[in-house]
């Protein structure tokens, strides 16, 4: 079973989560931040990775610590659930249209964390969520998962659509990258023989 459970507690947040890479996209998300819950719902549903996440953070300050720490814990869980990465697809990308918006996400489950964010918002907030925190969430996720993740919004005008298309594009790319490839026959998809950095 490619599953993982992470419990992360700091002076700022407490995050508990469980994921199943071979799920059906079932989710139960409760971070205390409505728009972040909605985005992670999309991440789970479209990646087919089951996710159960609860977070309690210092929301009286702002949403920053909660968004970042959920990203950290989710990345740690993905890394743990992938194990030695034998048999996975490794590389994947997706162009995700959402009405007037188009976003591209590309993933390499490389063991070498790197993050590129080419997304611009025209508003400071979507709902009550600071738009700058989308970058913080994905950066924390990529660094702790040990993946290379590139996200670029190619065009769009609706800030809700831009944010949501980022999560859906990452979800679809992740789905393909972590799925088992029967042609790999249990091999690590690297000429080095390892994807652990």
The answer to whether residue 191 is domain-embedded is: no
User: Can you tell me the distance from the alpha carbon of 181 to that of 197, in angstroms, rounded to the nearest whole number?
Assistant: 21
Tell which residue, 120, 125, 132, 8, has the closest CA to residue 72. Answer: 8
Q: Report if residue 193 sits inside a domain.
A: no
Examine residue 194 and state whether it is found in any structural domain, yes or no: no
Task: Return phi, psi of residue 166, to 5°.
Answer: -65, -45
User: Rounded to the nearest 10 degrees, what angle do helices 132-145 and 159-178 cross at?
Assistant: 10
Residue 196 lies in a domain: no
In a domain? residue 15: yes
Residue 195 forms part of a structural domain: no
What φ, ψ does residue 128 adopt, rounded to 5°?
A: -100, 10
With cut-offs at 50, 70 and 90, classify the pLDDT of residue 191: low
Domain at 51, CATH number: 3.30.230.40
**Could you read off the pLDDT of 116-161 as tens digits, one per residue?**
999 999 999 998 899 999 999 999 999 999 999 999 999 999 999 9
Helix or strand run (H / E) with residue 192? none
What pTM, to 2 d.p., does this model score?
0.96
* Token pair recorded at residue 116: 């590129």
CA distance 58 to 60: 5
Residue 107 covered by a domain = yes
**Number of structural domains, the chain?**
1
Question: pLDDT tens digits, residue range 73-121?
Answer: 999 999 999 999 999 999 999 999 999 999 999 999 999 999 999 999 9
Flag whether 101 is in a domain.
Answer: yes
- Domain of 154 in residue numbering reads as 3-182
């Amino acid at each position: 079973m490619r599953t993982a459970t992470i419990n992360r507690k700091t002076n700022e947040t407490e995050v508990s989560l469980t994921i199943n890479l071979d799920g059906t996209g079932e989710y139960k998300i409760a971070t205390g931040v409505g728009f972040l819950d909605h985005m992670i719902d999309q991440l789970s549903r479209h990646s087919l990775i089951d996710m159960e996440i609860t977070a309690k953070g210092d929301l009286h300050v702002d949403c920053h610590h909660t968004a970042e720490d959920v990203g950290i814990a989710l990345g740690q869980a993905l890394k743990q659930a992938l194990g030695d990465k034998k048999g996975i697809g490794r590389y994947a990308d997706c162009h995700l249209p959402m009405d007037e918006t188009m976003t591209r996400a590309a993933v390499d489950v490389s063991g070498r964390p790197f993050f590129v964010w080419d997304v611009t918002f025209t508003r400071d907030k979507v709902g009550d969520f600071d738009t700058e925190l989308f970058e913080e969430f994905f950066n924390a996720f990529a660094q702790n998962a040990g993946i290379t993740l590139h996200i670029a919004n190619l065009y769009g005008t609706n800030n809700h659509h831009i944010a949501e298309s980022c999560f859906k594009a990452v979800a679809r790319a992740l789905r393909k990258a972590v799925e088992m490839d029967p042609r790999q026959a249990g091999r690590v998809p690297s000429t080095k023989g390892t994807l652990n950095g």
